[in-house]
Structure 1
Amino acid sequence: MRFTQSILYLGLVSISRVLAIGGPTCLSFTSTQYALSTQDTPATIWIDASDWPGVHRAALDLQNDLEKVTGKRPVILNITLSSGTTDDLPGTPDSLSAPIPIIIGTLGKSNLLKLAAQLNPNINNKFGSIQGKWEAGISEVVKNFIPGVGTAYAIVGSDKRGTIYGIYDFLEQAGVSPWHWWADVPYKSHPEIYASSNITCSHGEPSVKYRGIFLNDEQPALTDWAFAKYSNGTSSNRPPFNRFFYSTIFELLLRLKANYLWPAMWNSAFGVDDPLNQFTADYYGIVMGTSHQEPMLRASPPEWNMFGSGPWNWDENQANLTKFWTDGVKRALPYESIYTIGMRGTGDLPLDESGNIALLERIVAGQRDILSGVYNKNASEVPQLWCLYKEVQGYYERGMRVPDDVILLWTDDNWGNIRRLPAADERNRVGGAGVYYHFDYVGDPRDYKWGNAHAINKFHHQLEMAKRYDADKIWIVNVGDLKPHEVSVDFFMTYAWNTTIWSKDDLDKYRNQWALREFGSAELAPSIADILKRSSHLNARVKNELINSTTYSLTSYREAETVMAEWDTLVDKSTQILNTLPSDYHAAYFELLHHTVIASRTSQAMYINAGYNQLYASQARSQTNAMADSVETLFEQDADIRDEYHGLLDGKWDHMMSQTHLGYYYWQQPMLDTMPSVTRVQKRQVALSGLMRLTVEGSKGAWPGDNSNQCAQGYNCPPPAVPPLTPFSPIPNRYFEVSAGGPTPFDWNATWSATWLQLNPSSGHIADASSGQRVLMSVDWSAVPAGTAPTGVVTLRSSTGQSTTVSLVANHTSVPAGFHGFVEDGGIISIQPEHYSRSTAVDNVSWEVLPDYGKNLSAVSPQIKVDSRWTAGSGPLLEYDFYSYNSNSGNITITVYSAPSLNTYPGHPLTYETFFYELDYY
């Protein structure tokens, strides 16, 4: 047929180098050639007074952070040059043992660098390669930096952010996580820091020009937290998302080498909540924008409700809308911004249900006139985007276009699947294209706002496609409250910064580097990275908000219990890591990983046990009540975990995990967490058929007595049989369970008719109503002749006089000698996609394995090759060999589990075809 545990390492060690994720390392903590800070002498930082204010601010972070790392406060020298000589410069040490200065400067801005270039021609040779580049930088030891001054460690940027990123890259190498404030990652202590003269750390230009986050759907968690932490004591009911709050966001973005922000929006107005917000963003070096539904850098609807007049309708209220948007542009004029153009309706709804393209074209033309008038230059020189979100993409598909300089911001489907990417004739636009992505979403068919349910492997694949198709001008991701999406945000920005070093096969390397950077233990890092991978994989199967009591099968293939075993193993490993880490790492580990593990396990166990509760009730099992108790306990445990998070660090993050997530009744978040429904049976009553209850694998029925799931009529049904066993069964046994149908204890024992049948155990005692015992049935295949299928019957008797039987067929199948592939078991053949027999490439494109993508092991996908398309049957091919005993005229039903994938390339829909014994994917 053709068709297309980890090991836990305990202990902490000191490491001589800390990796800055994805980049070279120029620093070490053991003596090399040049000291930057020693136990006797702190670091000295030089910066020219003429450099950008944001660079000076970042230099203060360098000073403060290095003090925490080394224990000694560096000295900052703010250099002001009054002449073109070195007379105004301090001397530098002439001994290798004394620290050399750290010199910070931006090309074209720092007079200190200008002087160095005049006096030392080698400076231009060293840093000329980044001149005029976007956000590029070089950091290295420079001998004879300025004649007469001596050797220095230079952090030089091509522009403001290029220099700032160099400063934060230095700190990351020195042991300062970008998440030291937002996730409480401790500073790594290093009394001495050294640099080598033979290593250069360079960065930029970035793979994606604008890289940012969107704070969204921020009520209740982020808003209530901000009220508690940043309230100014006034009676205003406006969220205090002020410059003090946003300063922490701006700094985090810069530490992550991000540069772009859509601010909180639903009840917030960035330019109004604090008049200094826009100034502060520009001072830090952050480019500001507004979301897909907020034109012209004005928060909508909050600002329109405050300052607008009349309806939110261009044709009816053009004058007032023009003034409203003009005022917004004037307010943003001094600052670096990207303007969202276009218009959606009030409340993030469609502007016009009929899709009036002419209306939207008039709106865009009016907005461009505003930009030209306020900036006093052609609108093409002002950065703008048009976000093709939801129904807006329909305008584009029906022929609407915006000027060539406008960035087209394509979007995902709100669930992490990119809807559309630029076609060949769209990739030469001056404005280019980008992607708006989601880690958080509010809307149909259901919100997801709680927990981190994003597999890096999934969104890496989607963003890799975006980069290959030149949608790389903007990448912005909706992060909701920001926490607990720290790891997802970290990789999103790491990949946006440099897509060339993070292939699908390097993602374990990223996780390991992340674990090493955050927790400082080379021994523990592999185990932490594995927990991160496995927890995100399990959560990405089904988001927590979508799970219910029927998500996983309770009776077939042991699916629910396998899922819970995976979670229980993770909880055990994560708890062991938490207990091994030094206490000052506990808060960071809880926030970044442990909370996700224990909270997700708790919510999923609650729904699975609620399913068992309903099933047991239908089976007249007294264990029903124990399952109801378990659900109630887990429901309270969910709140306990939330409270534990809120109590960390004397309540630093109080309210941050207050998002409701249990008991959805429709798409919108529940107003209050609600426990899933449970059923109870009368604990003093005995089942009509007696105390002993028998249930079997693969069936919802129960024996003895009547049950609608035993047979079609629900009464006078035959004794149960478990699914047949073959030598090729992936689960080498079957089970039945004995439990109580009342409050009285009893004994049971089993006898069986076949010598090849093995039972474990063969007798037992049901001590109380909550008890049950599972009996495993296995086969000694050496005692069953090949090609036969005998039936073994087990007779079960209780001490109360009840008896019943259960049977098992041992189907001793075989395959031809030399066959390699998959063999039918119980009428089913299940194949993981990566287990193909052969792969055939076409035009140097083959199928590739995407590790940890999908429900289980992996997924397969054709390699991304821009603009390559094939007709059905002519593309790259995978072949799977299997052996079937099917005698139904050779007909086989094939079920393909496909990850959501959309027709990202216009005119070339995704297809696959089925043939007789053949299936080709394209």
Structure 2
Amino acid sequence: MSASVSRRAVLGAGLAAVPVLSSRSPQPMEAGAYISFSRTTGAFPLVGAPVVVDPDDHPGVVRVAGDLRADIERVTGVRPGGGLAREVVLVGTIGRSALIDGLVAAGKLDVSGIRGSWETSLQTVVERPLPGVDRAFVVAGSDPRGTIFGAYDVSYGIGVSPWHWWDDVPPTRRDEIWVLPGRYSQGTPAVKYRGFFINDENPALGTWAPAYFGPGKAPGYPGGFTADFYARVFEVLLRLKGNYLWPAVWGRAFAEDDPENHRRASEYGIVMGTSHEAPMMRGIEEWNRHAVAAVRDSSGAIVTPGHDPYGGTGEWSYRLNSRAIQAYWRAGVQRMVDQGFEGVVTLGMRGNGDTSLPDGDGIELMQEIIAAQRQIIEEVTDRPAAETRQVWTLYKEVQRYWDRGLRAPEDVTVVLTDDNWGNVRKHPDPAEPGRVGGYGLYYHFDYVGAGRNYKWVDTANLRNVWEQLHTAHAYGNRELWVANVGDLKGNELPTEFFLNYAWNPEDWDLGRLGEWERRYARQNFGAGQADEIASVLAAYGQLQARRKPELLNRRITLVDGQVVYDDQQTPFAFGHRELERVTEEWRELGRRAERIGRRLPGGGVRDAWFELVGYAVAATANLYELRSAEFTNLLYAAQGRAATNSLADAAEAALARDFALADRFNSAVAGGKWAGFQTQPHIDYGDVERYGPNAGWQQPERDNVALPDVLFPAVRRVGVGEG
């Protein structure tokens, strides 16, 4: 047969009935735990077995069967076929696959433990499933995503990292792969919708993605992200057992940048949402590209007319331009209905540019906005609003509405948030009645805004992340979790942990975090140094949690409007040798990571190491070296010490190493695949004199190829004999 088995062929196979399997539920297991690399009694040989799928199953299931074939080839060097043989792998969805439904009808496959569940899979070996087939390893899903997650669980078990493409992780080569006898499942996810937000994507991702995948397809907006880019995002999201995405928003519009974007999401089985500032399935950039706001004087009279495509004034103001804004929102919901993609609709309204509303924060106005949005949903879908999944995100100032008593309709999921620094601001109140729509969580591994951006490297401490997620789940927050992951690449470890925890919090109690880090190390770098790598990961998270790299700068104050640098005040006290001790801790961690890197096999494993761990450790340790030398240099210069000049040399050498590490990432790793990715400024935040009034929190708007004395206040030198 061909790579896919036809429905007619399966239905006509004349399956003979056999005794029904036990109706017990499949045994919940850790990812891939039913895979063995040595033969045992009754095990199923995966190498050489064709992977067969019903072509009439969900497109995402047909596609993932192809990924499973490719993953088996990555590990074994042998690519499975797609036709029937004596032993086969059958992949399919209950109710959508004639392969699976035929086995169930014939009594050969018991799916009672998963049927009707949300995103649940079963892995089991079936004897004599089809004429001419002795055995089949069956991956069956309760729904299409259940099947997809089940297939990717097999990929994980045979050693393919979820980050195989994003971080060039090669699997360990295996000659044999066996599936253990039994019934296995990863269970049903604890959090229903689980995903991430691609955000703050300039300059790194915004530089790299259009160059690698080609420019955006919206006329005049070449920086847009295409369907080919998002296909890679969707794949890793599904490999991590996530199902939900907020797409990039910095000058980007998901629906316009490539007309294929929404269709591609549907093909993969991804649920699309929009961020807290983008209501009604519209990205705010869709408004900004086509609207010019009217200019008004102090009395509110229009001085300069504006316009938008809906006949309004172009103003992002519900009070002043409600009719046009409602039409804009209506078009967003209509697009979701017309294109048939699975979406979660954001309610409410925030100011343009991630700010509070220009119309004030009156409760009555927000009630009016939400009521109008719900009416639009009902009119466009021709169904009660409660039948369309909706969220209201209490981000920043929006939480004030809730605190002052405003409640969304009960079917709306209320998304609570952290404080932008990884500490959840509010949990569901046990004293309040339960909500049909439940609660969600918006959490940050990347942030742009006051008091300071952090977007260069991963700075999450898993112990703190665990504590926050554990508390949220314990309070009943279980409907929708989304993490801001910035460029995604660079935040792989916390992203994977976030989605693992959302799937099954009971798998990962506090005492097992070290085990999680060892598993992460084994999956990406092999078992040989997993313990030492896990130790480095834990130490790295602890050190980064003390102070994010963007906070390493001298203390700056304004005196009579003039910038004053206090050369004796740094983020660390010079007393008690704090600066020296912290720098030495980073220096030692850098040495440990370097030793690990040298012991790893050459080629792809070392590239993956540099991308996932090595760069972040080495570059952060070097940044501490740079700042320690710089800060001490400035202090010594003021004191006239002779050692000033050697410290100036050390600071400038460290800056050169910073450039060299970024250049290695951009030019040497994976054959230059990531050219332009390490372009995020991370030195000299807070310099109001150089970078303007937003410099207290905004990144320096400089490339890392600028002159050293542009990137940080020039070190100082003293003449011979002055010390």
Tell me the residue number matched to 1:228: 211
Tell me the residue number matched to 2:698: 668
SS in 2 for 1:261: strand
TM-fit CA distance, 1:680: 3.5
TM-fit CA distance, 1:508: 0.3
SS in 2 for 1:103: strand
Letter in 1 for 2:39: S
Distance 2:717 2:323 in 1: 69
For structure 2, the 5+ residue unaligned runs are: 1-27, 291-308, 555-568, 688-695, 705-709
Tell me the residue number matched to 2:721: 685
Tell me the residue number matched to 2:37: 29
TM-fit CA distance, 1:21: 10
Distance 2:233 2:711 in 1: 35
| Pairing partner for 1:113 from 97, 100, 113 | 100
Distance 1:244 1:291 in 2: 22
Distance 1:542 1:570 in 2: 16
Distance 1:175 1:559 in 2: 43
Indicate if the aligned counterparts of 2:205 and 2:677 stay in contact, CA closer than 8 A: yes
Distance 1:553 1:324 in 2: 51
Note if 1:178 corresponds to 2:198.
no
Matches within 5 A, 1:326-365: 326-333=330-337, 334-352=340-358, 354-365=360-371
Q: Deviations over 1:333-371 (max 9, x none)?
A: 211100001011111111146411111111111111111
Note if 1:642 corresponds to 2:642.
no
Q: Deviations over 1:245-304 (max 9, x none)?
A: 000000000000000000001211101111110011011011000000000110103335
| Pairing partner for 1:273 from 257, 260, 267 | 257
Tell me the residue number matched to 1:812: none
| Pairing partner for 1:53 from 54, 59, 72 | 59
Matches within 5 A, 1:25-104: 25-33=33-41, 37=45, 42-77=48-83, 90=84, 92-93=85-86, 100-104=87-91
Q: Deviations over 1:420-452 (max 9, x none)?
A: 011014461000001101111111111111111
Indicate if the aligned counterparts of 2:350 and 2:357 stay in contact, CA closer than 8 A: yes
Indicate if the aligned counterparts of 2:456 and 2:682 stay in contact, CA closer than 8 A: yes
For structure 1, the 5+ residue unaligned runs are: 1-19, 78-89, 94-99, 687-740, 742-922
Indicate if the aligned counterparts of 1:32 and 1:195 stay in contact, CA closer than 8 A: no
Indicate if the aligned counterparts of 2:280 and 2:346 stay in contact, CA closer than 8 A: yes
**What stretches of structure 1 move > 6 A for 4+ residues in a row?**
none
TM-fit CA distance, 1:148: 6.9
Indicate if the aligned counterparts of 1:446 and 1:667 stay in contact, CA closer than 8 A: yes
Tell me the residue number matched to 2:547: 542
SS in 2 for 1:61: helix
Matches within 5 A, 1:366-765: 366-426=372-432, 428-521=434-527, 523-549=528-554, 550-551=569-570, 553=572, 555-583=574-602, 584-647=604-667, 648-664=669-685, 665=687, 666-672=696-702, 674-686=710-722, 741=723
Indicate if the aligned counterparts of 1:116 and 1:123 stay in contact, CA closer than 8 A: yes
Indicate if the aligned counterparts of 1:183 and 1:592 stay in contact, CA closer than 8 A: yes
Indicate if the aligned counterparts of 2:118 and 2:146 stay in contact, CA closer than 8 A: yes
Distance 1:303 1:141 in 2: 53
Higher strand share: 1
Distance 1:216 1:230 in 2: 18
Tell me the residue number matched to 2:557: none
Distance 1:34 1:272 in 2: 53
Q: 1:501 to 1:64 in 2, by over 3 A?
A: same
Q: 1:114 to 1:22 in 2, by over 3 A?
A: closer
Work out which of the two has the higher radius of gyration on C-alpha atoms and give 1 or 2: 1
Q: Deviations over 1:161-210 (max 9, x none)?
A: 1000010000111111100000110022112211221x433013101111
583-592 or 21-30: which moved more?
A: 21-30
Letter in 1 for 2:683: L
SS in 2 for 1:454: coil
Distance 1:427 1:401 in 2: 12
Indicate if the aligned counterparts of 2:274 and 2:346 stay in contact, CA closer than 8 A: yes
149-158 or 365-374: which moved more?
A: 149-158
Indicate if the aligned counterparts of 1:454 and 1:536 stay in contact, CA closer than 8 A: yes
Distance 2:574 2:319 in 1: 60
| Pairing partner for 1:214 from 197, 201, 206 | 197
| Pairing partner for 1:301 from 285, 292, 310 | 285
Distance 1:279 1:313 in 2: 31
SS in 2 for 1:240: coil
Tell me the residue number matched to 1:130: 114
Distance 2:41 2:662 in 1: 50
Distance 2:30 2:43 in 1: 24
Q: 1:554 to 1:401 in 2, by over 3 A?
A: closer
SS in 1 for 2:422: coil
TM-fit CA distance, 1:684: 2.6
SS in 1 for 2:284: coil
Q: Deviations over 1:468-519 (max 9, x none)?
A: 0111111101111112111111111111111001111110000001101111
Distance 1:679 1:69 in 2: 52
Size of the aligned set, in residue pairs, is 642
Indicate if the aligned counterparts of 2:215 and 2:226 stay in contact, CA closer than 8 A: no
Q: Deviations over 1:515-567 (max 9, x none)?
A: 0111112x310011111111121111100001125445464332222212211
Distance 2:41 2:53 in 1: 23
Distance 1:362 1:301 in 2: 24
Higher helix share: 2
Distance 1:401 1:263 in 2: 27
SS in 1 for 2:51: strand
Q: Deviations over 1:61-85 (max 9, x none)?
A: 01112122111110113xxxxxxxx
Distance 2:610 2:115 in 1: 43
TM-fit CA distance, 1:315: 2.9
Indicate if the aligned counterparts of 2:317 and 2:359 stay in contact, CA closer than 8 A: no
Indicate if the aligned counterparts of 1:435 and 1:471 stay in contact, CA closer than 8 A: yes
Indicate if the aligned counterparts of 2:642 and 2:721 stay in contact, CA closer than 8 A: no
Question: How high is the TM-score relative to the length of structure 2?
Answer: 0.86
Indicate if the aligned counterparts of 1:411 and 1:435 stay in contact, CA closer than 8 A: yes
132-141 or 223-232: which moved more?
A: 223-232
Letter in 1 for 2:601: P
Indicate if the aligned counterparts of 1:21 and 1:510 stay in contact, CA closer than 8 A: no
Question: How high is the TM-score relative to the length of structure 1?
Answer: 0.68
Distance 1:209 1:355 in 2: 31
Instruction: Give the alignment's Cα RMSD to 1 decimal.
Output: 2.0
Q: 1:203 to 1:682 in 2, by over 3 A?
A: closer
Distance 2:75 2:237 in 1: 21
Distance 2:277 2:715 in 1: 45
TM-fit CA distance, 1:668: 1.1
Q: 1:265 to 1:180 in 2, by over 3 A?
A: same
SS in 2 for 1:102: strand
Indicate if the aligned counterparts of 1:36 and 1:102 stay in contact, CA closer than 8 A: no
Matches within 5 A, 1:836-875: none
Letter in 1 for 2:183: T
SS in 1 for 2:596: helix
Tell me the residue number matched to 2:274: 290
Indicate if the aligned counterparts of 1:104 and 1:163 stay in contact, CA closer than 8 A: yes
SS in 2 for 1:141: strand
Indicate if the aligned counterparts of 1:269 and 1:303 stay in contact, CA closer than 8 A: no
